[in-house]
Amino acid sequence: MDTRELQRTIASAATSDGAGVKLRRSLGQSPHTRLDPFLMLDEFSSFDANDYIAGFPAHPHRGFETVTYLLDGHMLHEDHLGNRGDLKSGAVQWMSAGRGIIHSEMPQQERGRMRGFQLWINLPAREKMKPAGYRDIDPAEIPAVALHGGGRAKVIAGTLQVDGQSVAGPIQGLATEPLYLDVELPAGAAFTQPVARGHNAFIYVFEGSLTVGAAATGRALATHSAGVLGPGDLTEVVAGAEGARFLLLAGRPLGEPVVQHGPFVMNTREEIEQAIRDYNSGELTRTPG
Ligand code: FE2
């Protein structure tokens, strides 16, 4: 197998979104920091309610998927279709905005830690105008696999192949074939994972540090940084002196033009203008038929 080397590092930048939620953005800081099909990755983490309490009041999306993974805290999701999702620590919400959704994501706590991620994954052109839908994934539905070398891996999407076993996560069968793992390693532990050749892949370290790549050529990846992996079919990492916790994300690239305007991600300028018109007229969230 060919080990994927660390090709590029994207340090996260402090920013805020929603009504003033403080976060760290790695992918998606600019059009040049996307990694097809991934558009954006935000990490939020704070013990200070002032950093998160304002939440994300009602806002629209069209043309892609948002994946919220809550590590610590309690968040209520509501949308224009009347759906409600109560996200607790360890839960995932996988939302496909399709042709349109208006939703809010609001913290349900006034103290304690709020920590998690929001990932944006593009939809292929043929699926951008499908009806909106989403899935709330309970922590009990996410397999947590103990690793032989110590640590554990949680499988949110795709299939983990480790220590001679194959463990499927709850999200399967999407056009972009995403792999979404949350891996925790003790100091010095190694972890290897096949990643389909031709798929784009990156690692986001949110605790400790990693060496990424083959043993002789591996390069360091620091906390709160995304590391884009080069070509190959095997991911190899070793945790640093303080251990590491990281996301491993991979997906099939769409190879289609991306035109983004805030919460709308389409293929052409005309489709963006249509999305803005549809939002203003209420058509964005009208149920077809
Ligand atoms: Fe949103």
Q: How far is the CA of 79 from the centre of ligand 1 (A)?
A: 10
Q: What is the pLDDT of residue 288?
A: 62
Q: How far is the CA of 94 from the centre of ligand 1 (A)?
A: 11
265 assigned to some structural domain: no
Q: d(Cα 85, Cα 79) in Å, to the nearest integer?
A: 9
273 assigned to some structural domain: no
280 assigned to some structural domain: no
Q: d(Cα 269, Cα 260) in Å, to the nearest integer?
A: 9
Q: How far is the CA of 205 from the centre of ligand 1 (A)?
A: 23
Q: How far is the CA of 59 from the centre of ligand 1 (A)?
A: 6
From the centroid of its chain, how far is CA 206? 13
Q: What is the pLDDT of residue 81?
A: 86
Q: How far is the CA of 243 from the centre of ligand 1 (A)?
A: 32
Q: How far is the CA of 60 from the centre of ligand 1 (A)?
A: 7
Beta bridge partners of 16: 22
Count the domains in the chain: 1
1 assigned to some structural domain: no
Sheet containing strand 56-61, strands side by side: 56-61, 101-107, 74-79, 84-88
136 assigned to some structural domain: yes
pTM: 0.97
Closest CA to 116 of 71, 51, 183: 71
Q: How many CA atoms lie within 13 A of 9 on its CB side?
A: 13
Q: How far is the CA of 101 from the centre of ligand 1 (A)?
A: 9
Cβ contact 43:24 at 8 Å: yes
Q: How far is the CA of 102 from the centre of ligand 1 (A)?
A: 8
226 assigned to some structural domain: yes
Q: How far is the CA of 29 from the centre of ligand 1 (A)?
A: 17
Cβ contact 21:54 at 8 Å: yes
Please provide the size of the chain in residues: 289
Q: How far is the CA of 111 from the centre of ligand 1 (A)?
A: 23
Q: What is the pLDDT of residue 215?
A: 87
Q: How far is the CA of 66 from the centre of ligand 1 (A)?
A: 7
Quick: pLDDT tens for 187-214: 999 999 999 999 999 999 999 999 999 9
Radius of gyration of the chain (CA): 19
Query: Which portions of the chain are predicted below pLDDT 50?
Result: none
103 assigned to some structural domain: yes
**CATH number for the domain including 134?**
2.60.120.10
Element (H, E) at 273: helix 269-281
Structural domain span for residue 107: 6-251
Count the neighbouring beta carbons within 10 Å of the beta carbon of residue 95.
Answer: 23
3-state secondary structure of 192: strand
Cβ contact 17:232 at 8 Å: no
260 assigned to some structural domain: no
Q: What is the pLDDT of residue 286?
A: 80
